């Protein structure tokens, strides 16, 4: 029996994600939105692509959570997008209400599902979904690190004129300006980045990575990134549904790991059929540890404001 995936929000991220999931035939899809006609139209358009693209999954657009019942996995992309000059933190209170209401519906219709949260500010919204759902911590995951790491790897590959496939790296911490690219775990075909690039150049790339989402917002003027974010979620869904035990940086609820307790923060996790199957603790340099604690403190500020 095929898996069932619900994508909440049929904007650019949600619709592009539905397209990617259909292409990979990871499950039957439900695209839900409060806007009448939009999810139905996009869902039908995607369904009609199947004979050409060769995917064979059911795709339904809806405004009713009843159609999402018994989903195996739910991705929350719904919320207000960032606008030029707006930080992720500005979105906090508006999107808290959206994620809270969405999570309540998900629990009612799909109490056994795994939740992936994409709505910004990411870490605080993942914590909201976790607290509201009452789900075990392995079943609520924030998508951030996969995206931030992809940006980091892209910029390094560009700078060195090498294949992006050869660049390995990690970006930890909160999904915002305090995110933490980790130079000590950054390599190109196994060669440490410090052997290939001066620190000053890498520092510029790290700064650009932290502002990667904002760079795209400023270019688009009326929207935010969606190709890379949807690709990041699709990789996570693939790792879970195919039980790949893939180690990816994701926002996870920490209970003492890395010296952080009671917060969603981006760390390496093992993703498999149960969701987060292990939080992988790695040795960080003192500077990296300090940056991670600073990032966690920034997440805590947001969490305290909304009381989750």
277-304 burial: b if 16+ Cβ within 10 Å, else e: eebeeeebeeebeebbbebbebbbebbe
| Residues 6 or more apart in contact with residue 255 via CB below 8 angstroms | 137, 261, 262
**Rg value, the chain, Cα:** 19
- How far is 8 from 117, CA to CA, in rounded Å? 10
Per DSSP, the chain holds a count of helices (H) and strands (E) of 10, 14
Residue 266, strand partner residues = 173, 251
Cis geometry, peptide bond prior to residue 147 (ω within 30 degrees of 0): no
Which two tokens mark 119? 């709505």
Residue 19 among the catalytic residues: no
- How far is 274 from 110, CA to CA, in rounded Å? 15
- How far is 109 from 93, CA to CA, in rounded Å? 25
DSSP secondary structure string for all residues of 181-213: E-GGG-EETTEEGGGTS-HHHHHHHHHHHHTHH
- How far is 263 from 283, CA to CA, in rounded Å? 20
CA distances from 292 to 15, 159, 281 (A): 33, 25, 13
Marked catalytic residue, from 19, 88, 139, 175: 175
Give the residue numbers marked as catalytic: 175
């Amino acid at each position: 029996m095929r898996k069932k995936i619900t994508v909440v929000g049929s904007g650019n991220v949600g619709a592009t994600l539905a397209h990617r999931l259909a292409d990979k035939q990871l499950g039957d899809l439900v695209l839900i939105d409060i806007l009448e006609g939009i999810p139905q139209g996009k869902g039908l358009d995607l369904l009609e692509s199947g004979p050409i693209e060769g995917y064979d999954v059911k795709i339904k657009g809806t405004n009713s959570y009843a159609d999402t019942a018994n989903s195996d996995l739910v991705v929350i992309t719904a919320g207000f997008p960032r606008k030029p000059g707006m930080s992720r933190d500005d979105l906090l209170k508006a999107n808290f209400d959206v994620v809270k209401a969405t999570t309540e519906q998900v629990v009612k219709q799909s109490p056994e599902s795994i939740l992936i949260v994409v709505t910004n500010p990411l870490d605080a919204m993942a914590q909201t979904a976790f607290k509201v759902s009452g789900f075990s911590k392995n079943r609520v995951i924030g998508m951030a690190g996969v995206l931030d790491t992809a940006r980091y790897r892209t910029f390094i590959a560009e700078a060195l004129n090498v294949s992006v496939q050869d660049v390995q790296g990690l970006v930890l911490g909160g999904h915002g300006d305090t995110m933490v690219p980790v130079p000590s775990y950054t390599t190109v075909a196994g060669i440490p980045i410090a052997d290939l690039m001066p620190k000053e150049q890498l520092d510029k790339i790290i700064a650009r990575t932290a502002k990667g989402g904002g760079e795209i917002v400023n270019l688009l003027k009326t929207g935010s990134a969606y190709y890379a974010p949807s690709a990041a979620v699709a990789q996570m869904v693939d790792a879970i549904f195919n039980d790949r035990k893939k180690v990816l940086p994701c926002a996870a609820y920490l209970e003492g790991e890395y010296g952080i307790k009671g917060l969603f923060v981006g760390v390496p996790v093992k993703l498999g059929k149960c969701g987060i199957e292990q939080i992988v603790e790695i040795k960080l340099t003192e500077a990296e540890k300090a940056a991670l604690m600073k990032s966690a403190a920034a997440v805590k500020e947001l969490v305290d404001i909304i009381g989750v």
